[in-house]
Amino acid sequence: MAICSQLKSAEAMQQIVSRLHCLLSYGILSSTTTMEPIRIGSLTCQPLHPTFVAEITGVDFSKPIPDDQICDIIAAQDRFGVTVYRNTSLDDQRHIALSRQLGKLEQVPKFNGPKVPDRFGFPELFDAGNTDREGKIIQKDSRRWWYNKGNTLWHTDSSFNQHRSKYSLLLAHQIPNEGGDTEFADMRNAYRAFPEVRKRQLRGLIAEHDLWHSRKLAAPQEYSAVTDFERAAKPSAYHKLVQIASDGGETLYVAAHASRILGKPEQEGLRLIGELIEDCTQAGWTHAVKWKQVGDLVIWDNRIVMHRGRPFSDQMEVRDMRRTTVFDDGPGSLGAV
């Protein structure tokens, strides 16, 4: 078993080296790239990966964030795509207030009907945990338990909305002892390493994004049928595969919610979607962020990264995570219509 582990580790390292050589050859990285701390205004950014993800210090979350520092936070998002802030001590209200400084917020869809109360008293807070309104662990094989399985697929928050999202801000309120990390994929730099001929094939293509498609992928029996209320609450949306990122360059916008490619036969489109997700989640393009304590906050840009939740003992331990989601206000924010 030890030999197998060593072989797998060696293979993974070789893949990472190969990807980094690819980045160098396409000019995405320079030979002087380091993992040394980077200053962005008032922030100190410690890179956690050669192309994206950084842990940030320099923000005092105990008081309102001044506008000039919000500009620094946005600049860090543009640079890294995923930023990690440890032990913020934010509560629900301050979490929402910080998010509003970044833009207009989405509200939680009412999948269980308009009369069923949410777990939180704030319509801007998405419940990304595994407990019900009474704080009890969601039971295995319930519809909500199966719904959460879709979060373990590589996805982009709210791509199934015609008005897509920009930032997600996920805050830890309770974390399991083991597992439950959030893993990210660098879609921006993965796409930019594609050969030019492949990029030309992808430009102009439009994907349909359907929440219920990803739920069926994760739980085919439970979501073989979708209720009329569920379908009405979240109809499909349409977005170009190739988008313009905040730095002005191209990026890829695809994830598990993508159910078909317009103008292509169904199976051909699904194959393309699967290939793109696989190519962008190879070793060298991904990084798993570990949740270390209550109050940890991770912000990511849904336009340039995918993410997925990693397994944990969801019938034994509580993972209470709460998310706000900021609407996109950039190019392509309203999708392809």
The predicted model gives 289-315 an average pLDDT of 98
Contact 307, 184 (CB under 8 A): yes
In this model, does residue 8 exceed pLDDT 90? no
- CATH for 34-327 is 3.60.130.10
What is the pLDDT at residue 22? 45
The larger pLDDT score, comparing residue 60 to residue 133, is at 60
pLDDT tens-place string over residues 73-90: 999 999 999 999 999 999
In this model, does residue 222 exceed pLDDT 50? yes
40-46 contact pairs (CB < 8 A, 24+): 40/72, 40/75, 40/76, 40/79, 41/68, 41/69, 41/71, 41/72, 41/75, 42/68, 42/69, 42/72, 43/69, 43/72, 43/73, 43/76, 45/76, 45/79, 45/80, 45/83
Q: Chain centroid to CA 144: how far?
A: 20
Q: How many CA atoms lie within 13 A of 147 on its CB side?
A: 15
What is the pLDDT at residue 278? 98
- Domain segments of the chain: what residues? 34-327
CA dist 17 and 50 (Å) reads 11
Read off the pLDDT band of 30 (50, 70, 90). very low
The predicted model gives 302-310 an average pLDDT of 98
CA dist 187 and 218 (Å) reads 22
Query: If you search the block for the tokens 């912000």, which residue do you land on?
Result: 299
In this model, does residue 93 exceed pLDDT 50? yes
What is the pLDDT at residue 32? 41
The predicted model gives 323-330 an average pLDDT of 96
The larger pLDDT score, comparing residue 223 to residue 2, is at 223
- What is the percentage of the chain residues whose pLDDT exceeds 90? 81
Helix, strand or coil, per DSSP, at residue 276: helix
Q: What is the mean pLDDT of the chain?
A: 90
Q: Which residues contact 246 (CB under 8 A, 6 or more apart)?
A: 77, 78, 301, 303, 304, 330
Query: Helix H segments across the chain?
Result: 2-25, 67-80, 92-100, 143-149, 187-192, 196-202, 211-218, 228-233, 266-280
In this model, does residue 12 exceed pLDDT 50? no
What is the pLDDT at residue 4? 38
What are the tokens at 224?
């073989």
In this model, does residue 21 exceed pLDDT 50? no
pLDDT tens-place string over residues 118-148: 788 899 999 999 999 899 999 999 999 999 9
Nearest to 70 by CA among 299, 269, 312, 276: 299
In this model, does residue 3 exceed pLDDT 70? no
Read off the pLDDT band of 114 (50, 70, 90). low
Find the farthest-apart pair of alpha carbons in the chain and give their distance in angstroms, rounded.
58
pLDDT tens-place string over residues 181-216: 999 999 999 999 999 999 999 999 999 999 999 999
CA dist 18 and 208 (Å) reads 33
